[in-house]
Structure 1
Amino acid sequence: MRFALSTEQTDFAASLRDLMASAKTPQLIRAWADGDSGPGLALYRQLADAGVTGLGIAEEFGGLGAHPVDLAIAFIEIGRAGVPGPILESAAVLPALLESLADDALAQRWLPGIADGTTLASIALPPSVPRALDADLADLVLQVDDADLQQVTPTTQLRSVDAARRLFDVEPTSVLASDVSVAAAKAYDLGVLACSAQLLGAGHAALSMATEYAKSRVQFGRPIGQFQAIKHHLADALVGLEMATPLLYGAAIAVGAGDSSASRDVSAAKVACGDAAYRAARKALQVHGAIGYTAEYDLSLWLTKIRALVTAWGTPAEHRGRVADALRSGS
């Protein structure tokens, strides 16, 4: 099977990259971490206007009804830009969950607002996702616990290695639906897919910063990028990212087709994208040296984000276990 992005898809990715570049996301990330959500929410509304928040929502609920491949494309660019906030939860997870319920009353109630950017949503899906991201800022916070869909409120905030990743414990206020295990499993897979795409984009961002630094940093009268050891570091990182990309798009195709292998494929993509992004982050830090992890230097924002996302939406061990179980069972 030959797969390639269409011209429309590559143009969509380019337009999102331009939009987020103009938003000066390093300043926005720092503001979000310091409690100033204004710039980040403004960018969220711009992304909604560009159609990102409606990609995973059916047209009958005000969305675009796009393919999961389009969702992956968008989240690669979101990861590349390092955009903070519960965009993954709003644009990928909640639509998959609410549209899979037997009764569409909740979908009719909330999805139009998510699609047009007026509703920011977050969710906890224990045990793999025990806390809700930015629950204090979200207009809607849900949790699936013991197959019950609950509306919840935030309680204690917990620190993440990524200062812009604000995690909250939650407590239930009401039960909205029961027996939602199947819908929750589908939503979880969409979350894993989107997180994998974010990791891939963040890895490319770290590699790009390292490459530009290697071109400008001079040692022994030459840019360090001319030294073979540096070239090998950067090439290794690029190969890892390129090798992970087909697994991401293959998983998106499997999810879109409803294949029985979809859960296995998204787990494989999460492992590959996480490993590749982490390798790119390490190589970028090695190229930069000590300046790379200082809080004032922009690379540090992506280093901590990658470190946090590697274990978000399921740890590498969990996803390797899902792949191994699927292979043992022949699925």
Structure 2
Amino acid sequence: MEFLLSDVHDDLGSTVDALLTKADVASRARAWADGDPQPATEVFATLAETGISGLLIDESSGGSSAGAIEMAVAMEQIGRHALPGPVIETIAVLPVLFHAANITGERLSALAEGAIATCAIPPIAPMAPVADVAYLVRDGVLSTATVGEPVATVDPTRMVAELTPGEVLADGVSVDDAIDIGILAAAAQLLGMAGAMLTLAADYAQARKQFGRPIGSFQAVKHHLADVAIAIEMARPLVHAAALGIDGLAPEDTDIRRDVAAAKVAAGDAAHLASRRALQVLGAIGYTTEHDLSLYLTKTRALLTAWGTPAVLRQRVLESL
């Protein structure tokens, strides 16, 4: 199986990276945490203008008719910049869920045009990140939903809530594909966040001096950061392989559900290791809300359990063996 990205994918990643760098997502994330989502909402609109929001939406509904590998490439860059909001649900899960329910028209077009929406699919995603538009799937019944009382999480940009079902849109809906794409999107985001934390730690290690030398020149620090780099590079092919499986490009006997679970476990482990090692390198300043590392520390903790806890996903892998 070919794991290397093409030039098209590299260009896509570079485009998303440049767009989010220009947007200064960190300041918008802090505004979201302070109760003002509007600045980040503008980023969603910009992503829609470049076709990112509609990657998994058919061209007939205003999307790009792309696949899971393109979504994973974009989501890795979104994770690298710690974009707040229900990114996984808006860009990945809902387009696939609507396709499974044969829902087309305005609901899909709105997502492609930059609308922000959320969803819950119990038991793997029992609560949803807060958004004005929400959907719920319970026992195969897809419905609109009312968002309950917001509950704070460790990530101040990620409030979650229970959903109450409203208008029934479809029944007999299979949620397997939507769940798998949600797990993959979370894995790609975690991979991007791990890379961002490694960069923050490496830059700090080059700038911070002790005993007249950059701390990055000390062997212990080098080993810490090398461990993170290895974990990231071991996780990346698993994420790409899972995306290829979802796109139908893997060998016929591939267990896609296993590969998706393994990808998120590996990416989550890499992000968790990156968060710990980056905090060790930066020291106390990494705890402060003024430093960008804090955005990644809290989001990593939140996404580790989003769309499947490590225990649930490890169990899925175990059952496939």
Among residues 157, 178, 191, which one is paired with 1:164 in the alignment?
157
Q: What runs of 5+ residues in structure 2 fail to find an aligned partner?
A: none
Q: 1:64 is aligned with what amino acid? A: S
Match of 2:208 in 1: 217
Deviation at 1:305, TM superposition (A): 0.6
Match of 2:170 in 1: 177
Among residues 276, 281, 285, which one is paired with 1:287 in the alignment?
281
Match of 2:227 in 1: 236
Match of 1:127 in 2: 123
| Distance in 1 (alpha carbons) for counterparts of 2:4 and 2:291 | 36
| Distance in 2 (alpha carbons) for counterparts of 1:308 and 1:133 | 11
Q: For 1:142, what is the secondary structure of its paired residue?
A: strand
Q: For 1:192, what is the secondary structure of its paired residue?
A: helix
Deviation at 1:93, TM superposition (A): 0.5
Q: Deviation digits for residues 182-218 of structure 1, max 9, x if unmatched?
A: 2x11101000000000000000000100000000001
Q: 2:301 is aligned with what amino acid? A: R
Among residues 294, 299, 317, which one is paired with 2:293 in the alignment?
299
| Distance in 2 (alpha carbons) for counterparts of 1:254 and 1:145 | 26
Match of 2:189 in 1: 198
Q: For 1:107, what is the secondary structure of its paired residue?
A: coil
| Distance in 1 (alpha carbons) for counterparts of 2:309 and 2:283 | 28
Match of 2:135 in 1: 142
Q: Deviation digits for residues 256-299 of structure 1, max 9, x if unmatched?
A: 10866111111000000000110011100000111111122111
The percentage of aligned residue pairs carrying the same residue is 46
Match of 1:310 in 2: 304
Deviation at 1:156, TM superposition (A): 1.0
Contact 1:156/1:170 (8 A) holds in 2: no
Q: 1:73 is aligned with what amino acid? A: V
Match of 1:109 in 2: 106
| Distance in 2 (alpha carbons) for counterparts of 1:254 and 1:15 | 25
Deviation at 1:42, TM superposition (A): 0.5
| Distance in 2 (alpha carbons) for counterparts of 1:313 and 1:248 | 15
Deviation at 1:174, TM superposition (A): 2.1
Q: 1:316 is aligned with what amino acid? A: P
Q: For 1:156, what is the secondary structure of its paired residue?
A: coil
Q: For 1:311, what is the secondary structure of its paired residue?
A: coil
Q: For 1:252-263, what aligned pairs fall within 5 Å after superposition? A: 252-257=243-248, 261-263=255-257
Runs of 4+ in 1 over 6 A off after TM superposition: none
**Aligned residue pairs: how many?**
318
| Distance in 2 (alpha carbons) for counterparts of 1:124 and 1:290 | 36
Deviation at 1:107, TM superposition (A): 2.0
Contact 1:49/1:116 (8 A) holds in 2: yes
Q: For 1:10-49, what aligned pairs fall within 5 Å after superposition? A: 10-49=10-49
Q: 1:18 is aligned with what amino acid? A: A
Match of 1:207 in 2: 198
| Distance in 2 (alpha carbons) for counterparts of 1:69 and 1:147 | 27
Deviation at 1:3, TM superposition (A): 2.7
Aligned alpha-carbon RMSD (Å): 1.2
Q: 1:114 is aligned with what amino acid? A: L
Q: Deviation digits for residues 71-127 of structure 1, max 9, x if unmatched?
A: 0000000000000011211111011111122xx3x322311111121x221101111
| Distance in 2 (alpha carbons) for counterparts of 1:150 and 1:111 | 15
Deviation at 1:170, TM superposition (A): 1.5
